[in-house]
Structure 1
Amino acid sequence: MGITEAALVLEDGRIFRGESFGRVGASLGEVVFSTGMTGYQETLTDPSYHRQIVVATAPQIGNTGWNDEDDESTRIWAAGYAVRDPAPRPSNWRSRRPLDEELARQGVVGIAGIDTRTVTRHLRRSGSLRGGVFSGAALASDDDMIAAVSESAGMTGAYLAADVTTVEPYVIPAEGRKRCTVAALDLGMKASIPRMMATRGMEVHVLPSSSTVEDVLMTGADGVFLSNGPGDPATADTQVALVRQVLERNIPLFGICLGHQILGRALGRATYKLPYGHRGLNIPVIDASSGAVSITAQNHGFAVEGEPREEFVTDFGRAQVSHHCANDGAVEGLRLWDGPAFSVQFHPEAAAGPHDAAPLFDQFSRLMEEAH
């Protein structure tokens, strides 16, 4: 078979030409880069990447193939995938099929053979851009492809939680002795998160993103969890209202990623779009209380306004910026001192990635125990 030509087209007119990787066709989305050297299966199946074309900064992708154990959801959510050197064949005892075969099977349009380092440097200078991957018969004139990209939807103002949330509630039982019950609001939750809570004796009731405080209370929850997810937190007014009702009832609450941003809004903070976001498995975060640095997994394009170690007053008492990014000072955590609520911008389940932050699930467990 011959090589099928492909192009990654950015809204500013920059075009990177390579060959098709996955399904042949066209796909549009926000072009972002991820610095993880491994864990591409977890990345692609993370619902937080909904409507995004992911550029892998690691030069060779696909070495471990695709297995049936590491999916973070029921499907690939990334709109497209761009790599430099795809592995010619996978080599891992758990591999069931090559990465490009899985991309094609799930209808994901990708591109290989481009200089992903140059793409990444361009995005770091210009910020994340709308883009498209075009291959085969979908390839058109440069002007036509740029026009298609320019007419596509951006991420600012996008409400996407409804696209990725569970339709019906479901329960993940605690492993061993049940210690507490958690109502987890699914905004695009990775599958490893409730598993991490279940191993700590938490019975997790996963609820749709549109759930009300009555839905939460009906679970008999000892605590509320706000998951990760895609989209602009400025659009999550329904979830912000729910969080305020939870805080008024003094129910322990823990949020990560989009959940962290929603807690920030509930505490009166604004959110904003980062130039090119934090995505990868190697991002250093500083804990304000101890000064300890954790290496974290992250995937977000928005952030909560604030300064490192800043203390501020909310409708629910005193609060503090509990963590910040060592690279750019962005807010990475919040703590409500006068109530049982905290959040982090990074991923303590870290699938795949470092496990420095895993004890945060234990902190959530202790918060619920202390509330009794």
Structure 2
Amino acid sequence: MKNDPDRTAAQPLAPSTRLVVGGRRPEEQYGFVNTPVYHGSTVLYPTAEDFRARRSRYKYGRRGTPTSDSLESLLADLEGEACAGVALLPSGLGAISAALLAVLKAGDHLLMTDSAYEPTRHVCDHLLTRWGISTTYYDPLIGAGIEALVRPNTRAVFVESPGSLSFEIQDVPAIAEVAHAHGAAVLMDNTWATPLYFRALDHGVDLSIQAGTKYIGGHSDIMFGCVAANAHYADVLRDTVFSLGLCVGPDDMNLALRGLRTLAVRLPSHFAAGVEVATWLEGRPEVSRVLHPALPSHPGHALWKRDFTGACGLFSIVLKPVPETAVDAFLNAIDLFGIGASWGGYESLAIPFDCSKIRTATTWAPGGPTVRFHIGLEAVGDLIANLDEGFAALNAAAQAG
């Protein structure tokens, strides 16, 4: 049929095209473009014999529906040929937990980047500990030097590149090579770049994780996560998610599908706007450093340029020393920037943060207050003008003492 996503024969389609045509079967939906939202648990069988033999394409709502099939197919397409299976989870943290539990068992050892998302650390320090799994945190910049931390029982290495607060770029291929030489799986939180800008499975990662709440959804209105696995780990991932009874609601699956259709248009806009705002911030006298991997000034820029094809709208800045009241005045004055922890939606955000309270393998001492920005889809000129107002408020508060 026209627009059939399986027409891969003669000429490979660009990612933006795949996001439009992938995961759609109009011929199975009476010609409608989008897969319907299937709300259902029970699947009926025509006869007792069919039930005994489980002769049905679908067996139970938690085991899959046409809606979930469409979403899984599209996500797998985005991840690339190395993807052998995708699991859908009700949140990004759920995706991280499920991926870890798929590859670890009691007595195993995990190497976790010290720049990890804080709730990921909570999973390691509480849930995994209770199950007899130990965790060692490592410097995200360690690269191939991670071999010195590998133990005989190390079964997994977790990377997050860049870190979603401090933005260190990791040498993922080098880390993966060491991990695989010791029989360990490599897991990556790839929410920042998405597979559109970094195909994790092509760089040695075994399980690629995304908080689909962020850029996949794109509108700050769903809770969703996903894990893509290569052929070696696809079955154990699928069995783990099934055994835990985890599933995603059909409406959130539908919104994830809708978000993916426009990802290739939205993400370049976030990328371009983010770089423009970050570059402007580098020129501000109140700013000590801008932590954006796409800027030449970033310590990990060469690695980013080598491995990534783009960036999103998330980055941080280090301010020159000012009182906390001045930082708060800045944040309160930039009314085009919401104060909220999640990101990846159409709206711009800004939050203060302090990594020093959670780091254990490295020291976070940036030399001044830190603020993380997410640059949304607003006009960049408006955002910069608003930031200028924010710095005026910061300076006034700093002078007032």
**Global fold match (TM > 0.5):** no
| TM-score of the two chains, using structure 2 as the length reference | 0.25
| TM-score, length-scaled by structure 1 | 0.26
Kindly name which structure, 1 or 2, has the bigger radius of gyration based on alpha carbons.
2
Q: Which has the higher helix share?
A: 2
Greater strand content: 1
